[in-house]
Structure 1
Amino acid sequence: MQHRSFIITLFLTIIGFNMKAQHQTNGGYAAVNGLQLYYEIHGSGSPLVLLHGGGSTIKSSFGRILPELAKAHQVIAVELQAHGHTLDIDRPLSFEQDADDVAALLQQLHIGKADFMGFSNGGTTCLQIGIRHPALVNKLVLLAAAYKRSGMPPGFFEGFENVTLAHMPAPLQAAYLEANPDPAGLQRMFERDVARMKGFKDISDAAIKTIQAPTLVINGDVEVILASQALELSRTLPHARLMILPADHGDYIGEAGAPDQSGKLVPLVTAVVLSFLQG
């Protein structure tokens, strides 16, 4: 019976994917930990927090799927330090600090528990929320989440040694400037994200094993996070399911910088995520 219910949910979500979502949007800025943190609220229902990837914005990471998610959830989408509408401040950029900022935002919004979905760097931040603020977490959805340096392809970290803003995907640059038309801010975000990735440190298996929330791990088979690491992460988390797709980085959510912009997997992945969150 549960299998039949899942198939029905999947079918209805896919065929309705292109229908216009009916939801209200509001948001603004919250003063958290010395930062003016930008957020948006879409739809109604159980809270779902969206955390974008590195060098990204709400729109560039989740613009394709957010309207569908907001049909079933109160979506709280955040732009983290130095990204999009949220300006940088003079403090280190870290996944731990991002996690603390999101927790402080939810406290201000009087949200005691939520689901969290993060893409790429946002997935790593979700892991830190699960570790540092477990009482806040209902379920986690991790899309291409890094947690060990060994989980990236050979040469990944060496590639940051001589990288410049010109190497940043043009759609992500455009998305930043749409949110904040300041080229100096774009350069600052780029430098911050590069420095963070160059200094990336493993999250220990012991820390991962403290996360008790049910978790869905999603990864492409040929993307920046190796599928083998997604498998390892799913086996290290106490309560995780795994979905490996024939896809590159962000193809399956319609991310603005994704190599495949056809987005054919997007309705399927959205349906699976909604089914997991509602299960």
Structure 2
Amino acid sequence: MSTPNSSNGHYAPINGLQLYYELHGNGRPLVLLHGGGSTIESTFGRILPVLARTHRVIAVELQAHGHTLDIDRPLSFEQDADDVAALLDHLQIGQADIMGFSNGGTTCLQIAIRHPQLVHKLVPASATFRRDGMPPGFFEGFSHVSLDDMPPLLKEAYLKANPDPKGLQRMFDRDVARMKAFKDIGDAAIKTIQAPVLVLNGDAEVVLAEHALALSRTLPHARLAILPGGHGDYIGEICTPYENNPTPSLVTAMIDSFLNT
């Protein structure tokens, strides 16, 4: 078993997992869900401290990611959504704001669909809900990838949380299999989401800006912000060149304003 990387880290027995989460700050609960192949730190390391100034942040590492070890059961966005719902129940939190980046953004949508009573406001960032939201050939490309193709910074972040190369390979294999099997979330399901939503996306990234626009127009109560840069640049994700880039500070203020009004 890996150990928490700070005094803020905890484990909860959730649906057969020892699910790792961190608590930061005070205020209305805000759940943060990392991207595929990622950890809390690699996705949200730059903006989490700022968000924690005005929120009680619950940052989660989902099945097979970071401190949370894999178990013998399917990995899916729906299962991740159910795990987050069970964690909120474990923490006796009846409703929370929820933000997810990339794969975490898709999980964010599934939480709102499957557990609408838990969601106060939603921030899906670079979230995919249909296969046509990605460039042609994107999903087919997962048939020809190996761990060598994974960004080194993401490998290092995983091994910092859990220094087990077999766990790293397992996470990679799990995420690849999930993306190869990705199925569209139907418009009818998206339209059931009644919470206010702030959709975020980059203008030059793997998730097409047109897809973010389509998501915002399918959701009943959504606003849209398209930011300059690539995948995760606007939140300072670990693989992006964000030194001296003011955009993450701007986006954090935008998120904070949306959640608090």
**Which band: TM-score by shorter chain?**
over 0.9
Which residue does the alignment assign to 1:194?
Answer: 176
Q: Map Cα deviations across residues 219-265 of structure 1 (whole Å, 9 max, x no partner).
A: 0111110000000000000000000111100001110122x333331
Q: Which amino acid aligns with 1:261?
A: Y
For residues 255 and 167 of structure 1, the distance between their equivalents in structure 2, rounded to whole angstroms, comes to 18
1:25–1:43 contact (8 Å) kept in structure 2: no
Q: Which amino acid aligns with 1:208?
A: I
The SS at the match of 2:21 is strand
* TM-score under structure 1 length normalisation: 0.90
User: 2:101 aligned to 119, 124, 141, which one?
Assistant: 119
Q: Map Cα deviations across residues 8-62 of structure 1 (whole Å, 9 max, x no partner).
A: xxxxxxxxxxxxxxxx962310001111100000001100000000000000000
C-alpha RMSD of the superposition? 1.0
Matches within 5 A, 1:46-85: 46-85=28-67
Q: Map Cα deviations across residues 100-141 of structure 1 (whole Å, 9 max, x no partner).
A: 000000001000000000000000000000000000000000
Q: Which amino acid aligns with 1:187?
A: Q
Q: Does 1:181 align with 2:163?
A: yes
Which residue does the alignment assign to 2:129?
Answer: 147
- 1:154 is displaced (CA, Å) by 1.2
For residues 156 and 25 of structure 1, the distance between their equivalents in structure 2, rounded to whole angstroms, comes to 39
For residues 26 and 256 of structure 1, the distance between their equivalents in structure 2, rounded to whole angstroms, comes to 20
Q: Which amino acid aligns with 1:93?
A: L
The SS at the match of 1:161 is helix
The SS at the match of 2:65 is coil
User: 1:261 aligned to 242, 248, 253, which one?
Assistant: 242
For residues 25 and 129 of structure 1, the distance between their equivalents in structure 2, rounded to whole angstroms, comes to 28
Which residue does the alignment assign to 2:196?
Answer: 214
The SS at the match of 2:56 is strand
Q: Which amino acid aligns with 2:234?
A: Y
**Percent identity (aligned):** 73
The SS at the match of 2:89 is helix
The alignment covers a number of residue pairs equal to 255
* TM-score under structure 2 length normalisation: 0.96
Matches within 5 A, 1:79-98: 79-98=61-80
For residues 156 and 26 of structure 1, the distance between their equivalents in structure 2, rounded to whole angstroms, comes to 37
The SS at the match of 2:120 is strand
Q: Which amino acid aligns with 1:66?
A: L
Which residue does the alignment assign to 1:10?
Answer: none
Runs (5+) with no aligned partner, structure 2 = 1-5
Runs (5+) with no aligned partner, structure 1 = 1-23
Q: Map Cα deviations across residues 138-174 of structure 1 (whole Å, 9 max, x no partner).
A: 0000110000000001111121111011110111000
Runs (4+) of structure 1 exceeding 3 A deviation are none
User: Which structure: larger Rg?
Assistant: 1
1:25–1:41 contact (8 Å) kept in structure 2: no
User: 1:37 aligned to 19, 30, 33, which one?
Assistant: 19
